A and B are shown apart, each in its own frame.
Chain A
Amino acid sequence: MTRPLLFSLLILLSLACFVMNLTLGSVSIPAGEVARILFTRKSEETAWLFIIENIRLPKAITAVLVGWGLSVSGLQMQTLFRNPLAGPSELGITAGAGLGVAAVMLGSGSVTSLYAIRQLGVSGSWLIVFMASMGSALVLLMVLAIAGRVRDHVVLLIVGVMVGTITLSIISIWQYFSQPEQLQEYLLWTFGSLGGVVDNHLLVLAVVVILGLLLTFASSKALNTLLLGEAYARSMGLTVGQARTIILASTSILTGSITAFCGPIGFVGIAVPHLTRSLLGTSNHRVLIPASGLIGSILMLVCDSIAQLPGTQSVLPINVVTSLLGAPIVIWMIVSRHNLRASFS
């Protein structure tokens, strides 16, 4: 299949998933009606209009942003670490974002829960995004420093899990001194949720994710040269330190902002780039970045639709669904290790 055809298919598929996501939920709304609401902003059923405009549309847009952001940051990390098992949640980067969020809560003096960030105003959400990104960057730098000493892919994964555990322990200590009702809300946050990111928050998330994606696109040439290793990249004129800083920055703000708003969402960042590479059979980041983003958003829209348990009144946490789908893919990747070696050194 040629690439333009494949891309057209992916775009069509993601649009279809977007519409499907809007139709499904506790109340099923026909696709035709969804389209009418989207284009004319009118409907005979005012309840449907309300559900689409205020709940499902923001949630679907969030799903697309999360899918793009996590997949692309996972892709960048895999190339930067030269390790196909790198990913935002696997290397503890999302835990770092959680720490940043927790720091805001502690520092502000108002001992509210992480979940309460949505109650903060726009300036508050900027602060949260900034701190979550700094938390991500901190963990990312730590893991990167350790990665220099570790050659084995799986060992790095274990190191990442350990760093994540340390970070989560720090959060737990804080939790220990918190009120029970706040704990409950924190637990809800750890399940992850695409819902509730509306209005100004959605705007902030969109701006930050798009900024992160633009930085990634700008690094695509650097990422391609880094495929050959750092020495070759330097010999081909890449200022490695500078390129690495930009890649770290975009990974941190993508992971940080998404985690701050939606909670830790696992396995999308590690599984999607791998799927994309096998599907397209290329390592060229100019192709991989948009393709991973599209596949990531399709996956998030599908996961969210499943999480809504269509036709019922209950909703599954999004992290549960992505883990159920993503973890087997990671296990399959580790089992077929020759495949790993072939991708990276």
Chain B
Amino acid sequence: MNSTLLHTRELSIGYGSTRIAGSLSVQLKAGQLVCLLGPNGAGKSTLMRTLSGLQKPLSGEIYLGDQALAQIPPRELAQKLSLVLTDRVEAGHLTVGELVALGRTPYTNWLGSLTFDDHQKINWALKLTGTDAFIDRRLPQLSDGERQKVMLARALAQDTDLILLDEPTAHLDLPSRVELMRLLHELARQTQKAILLSTHELDLALQAADVLWLMGSGGKFEHGVPEDLVLNGSFERTFAASGFAFDRSTGTFQLYPNPTGPALRLGGDSPSLFWTRRALSREGYQLQEYAEHSVQVTDEGWLIDEQTFVTSIQTLLQELSNRYSYRKHA
């Protein structure tokens, strides 16, 4: 079965006298992609920094295998654990190839000479991340997505069992975010690495993660399989405060949890049902099982109160608004 690569025992994290979270006992297992989620300021970065050894824990222990993290010499640690940080790297004259090659630092001699084996690892990392296409480009010539992939390639070249990524999806557009998550998920599976990443992408994390770590404000910490955390309400509790609600049935956050508009009964089983529900929720209609008025969704269009037929959501909303003299925020 999956071996535990990292585990903590009664770990407390924080700065100086400020304790952010305590009594953390978590594990990272080979082949798993773990996503760390939590609102801003919950201490995600502090946890990442502590687990990677950049910052000392307030108390408790971190073990890599059966070795205490604090006891591992820097070079040896760098052969077990690699990082991708949020810090923007600005070494303008470094090419992509040179930067990825720096990942071999923990293995090279005092001059940093690369061996055949080093070159193989670098090429593997470049190919896997698709960065081999622009190996000679310099950092300022890269887009944010490409840059992030290059930093990941560098971490891969470091050839460690554990990879920690601090908000790797920040600054990326949606396709790049999806691609990165997919890549990390595959990587964990294929190479039996343990990958921990912190992110704000709830949807993506729910889909891609094998295990979720939830950090709430006030040092609350929960972990488990994503679906369990959704079903037992942990997810809602973690993100409770901010006036929006997590919809357990759809796995999404609702921006408008308390609709005040007219009640509607929504029927039909066309694929457009999902999007119709979204549009109506946004406009503040209360969608109920039993209501006086109804909207029937068909493959061809929308039937309002079994009378009027419309063919786009725009005209549907217009028609409903006229019919019930209802305006959002009115």
- Chain A residues proximal to chain B, CB less than 8 Å: 218, 220-221, 224-225, 227-229, 231-232, 234-239, 277, 281-284, 286, 341-345
**Are A231's CB and B85's CB within 8 A?**
yes
Q: How far is the CB of B82 from chain A (nearest CB, A)?
A: 6
- B93 / chain A contacts, CB cutoff of 8 Å: 277, 281-283, 343
Given A221-B112, A342-B90, A342-B92, also A235-B102 (CB < 8 A)? no
Alpha-carbon separation in the docked complex, A218 to B99 (Å): 20
Alpha-carbon separation in the docked complex, A232 to B75 (Å): 13
**Are B140's CB and A221's CB within 8 A?**
no
What are 30 A-B pairs at a CB distance below 8 A?
A218-B110, A221-B105, A221-B111, A227-B89, A228-B89, A228-B91, A228-B99, A231-B83, A231-B85, A231-B87, A232-B87, A232-B89, A235-B78, A235-B85, A236-B105, A236-B106, A237-B105, A237-B106, A239-B74, A283-B91, A283-B92, A283-B93, A284-B98, A342-B90, A342-B140, A343-B90, A343-B91, A343-B92, A344-B92, A345-B90
Judged by a CB distance under 8 angstroms, whether B79 is at the interface is: yes
- A345 / chain B contacts, CB cutoff of 8 Å: 87-90
Given A283-B93, A343-B93, also A224-B54 (CB < 8 A)? no
- A282 / chain B contacts, CB cutoff of 8 Å: 93-94, 98
Q: Which 5 pairs, one residue from A and one from B, show the smallest C-beta to C-beta distance?
A: A237-B78, A342-B92, A345-B90, A221-B112, A283-B93
Judged by a CB distance under 8 angstroms, whether B77 is at the interface is: yes
Interface size classification for chain B: 20 to 34
Alpha-carbon separation in the docked complex, A343 to B87 (Å): 15
Alpha-carbon separation in the docked complex, A64 to B33 (Å): 56
- A239 / chain B contacts, CB cutoff of 8 Å: 74
Alpha-carbon separation in the docked complex, A220 to B109 (Å): 11
- A225 / chain B contacts, CB cutoff of 8 Å: 102, 105
Select the residue from A220, A236, A341 with max chain B CB neighbours within 10 A. A236
Select the residue from B75, B83, B93, B103 with max chain A CB neighbours within 10 A. B93
**Are B87's CB and A229's CB within 8 A?**
yes
**Are B92's CB and A236's CB within 8 A?**
no
Judged by a CB distance under 8 angstroms, whether B158 is at the interface is: yes
- A232 / chain B contacts, CB cutoff of 8 Å: 83, 85, 87, 89
**Are A229's CB and B98's CB within 8 A?**
no
Given A220-B112, A234-B54, A344-B91, also A228-B82 (CB < 8 A)? no
- B54 / chain A contacts, CB cutoff of 8 Å: 231, 234-235
**Are A236's CB and B102's CB within 8 A?**
yes
> Quick one: closest A residue to B95, CB to CB?
A282
Q: How far is the CB of A215 from chain B (nearest CB, A)?
A: 12
Known contacts A228-B102, A237-B79, A282-B98; 11 additional CB pairs below 8 A are A218-B110, A221-B112, A227-B89, A227-B91, A228-B89, A228-B91, A229-B87, A229-B89, A232-B85, A237-B105, A342-B92
> Quick one: closest A residue to B77, CB to CB?
A237
Alpha-carbon separation in the docked complex, A155 to B133 (Å): 39
Alpha-carbon separation in the docked complex, A220 to B93 (Å): 16
Q: In the complex, which of the residues A236, A238, A341, A344 contacts B103, with contact meaning CB atoms closer than 8 Å?
A: A236
> Quick one: closest B residue to A283, CB to CB?
B93
Alpha-carbon separation in the docked complex, A306 to B299 (Å): 87
Alpha-carbon separation in the docked complex, A225 to B103 (Å): 9
Judged by a CB distance under 8 angstroms, whether B108 is at the interface is: yes
**Are A224's CB and B83's CB within 8 A?**
no
- A283 / chain B contacts, CB cutoff of 8 Å: 91-94, 98
Judged by a CB distance under 8 angstroms, whether B131 is at the interface is: no
Q: How far is the CB of A336 from chain B (nearest CB, A)?
A: 12
- A234 / chain B contacts, CB cutoff of 8 Å: 53-54, 74
**Interface hits, B36-86 → A, CB 8 Å:** 52-54, 74-79, 81-83, 85
> Quick one: closest A residue to B76, CB to CB?
A237
- B78 / chain A contacts, CB cutoff of 8 Å: 235-237
Alpha-carbon separation in the docked complex, A281 to B88 (Å): 21
**Are B82's CB and A235's CB within 8 A?**
yes
Alpha-carbon separation in the docked complex, A150 to B169 (Å): 28
Alpha-carbon separation in the docked complex, A342 to B77 (Å): 31
> Quick one: closest B residue to A282, CB to CB?
B93
Q: How far is the CB of B274 from chain A (nearest CB, A)?
A: 43
- A343 / chain B contacts, CB cutoff of 8 Å: 90-93
- B111 / chain A contacts, CB cutoff of 8 Å: 220-221, 286
Q: In the complex, which of the residues B52, B90, B92, B110 contacts A235, with contact meaning CB atoms closer than 8 Å?
A: B52
Q: How far is the CB of A152 from chain B (nearest CB, A)?
A: 14
- B88 / chain A contacts, CB cutoff of 8 Å: 345
- B140 / chain A contacts, CB cutoff of 8 Å: 342
- B139 / chain A contacts, CB cutoff of 8 Å: 342
Q: How far is the CB of A160 from chain B (nearest CB, A)?
A: 20
> Quick one: closest A residue to B158, CB to CB?
A236
Alpha-carbon separation in the docked complex, A229 to B94 (Å): 13
> Quick one: closest B residue to A277, CB to CB?
B93
- A231 / chain B contacts, CB cutoff of 8 Å: 54, 83, 85, 87
> Quick one: closest B residue to A82, CB to CB?
B90
- B103 / chain A contacts, CB cutoff of 8 Å: 236
> Quick one: closest B residue to A226, CB to CB?
B91
- B108 / chain A contacts, CB cutoff of 8 Å: 221
Q: How far is the CB of B193 from chain A (nearest CB, A)?
A: 15
Alpha-carbon separation in the docked complex, A195 to B112 (Å): 39
- A227 / chain B contacts, CB cutoff of 8 Å: 89, 91, 94, 102
Alpha-carbon separation in the docked complex, A345 to B88 (Å): 8
Alpha-carbon separation in the docked complex, A218 to B74 (Å): 18
Q: How far is the CB of B171 from chain A (nearest CB, A)?
A: 15
**Interface hits, B102-140 → A, CB 8 Å:** 102-103, 105-106, 108, 110-112, 139-140
- A221 / chain B contacts, CB cutoff of 8 Å: 105, 108, 110-112
Alpha-carbon separation in the docked complex, A295 to B130 (Å): 38
**Interface hits, B246-273 → A, CB 8 Å:** none
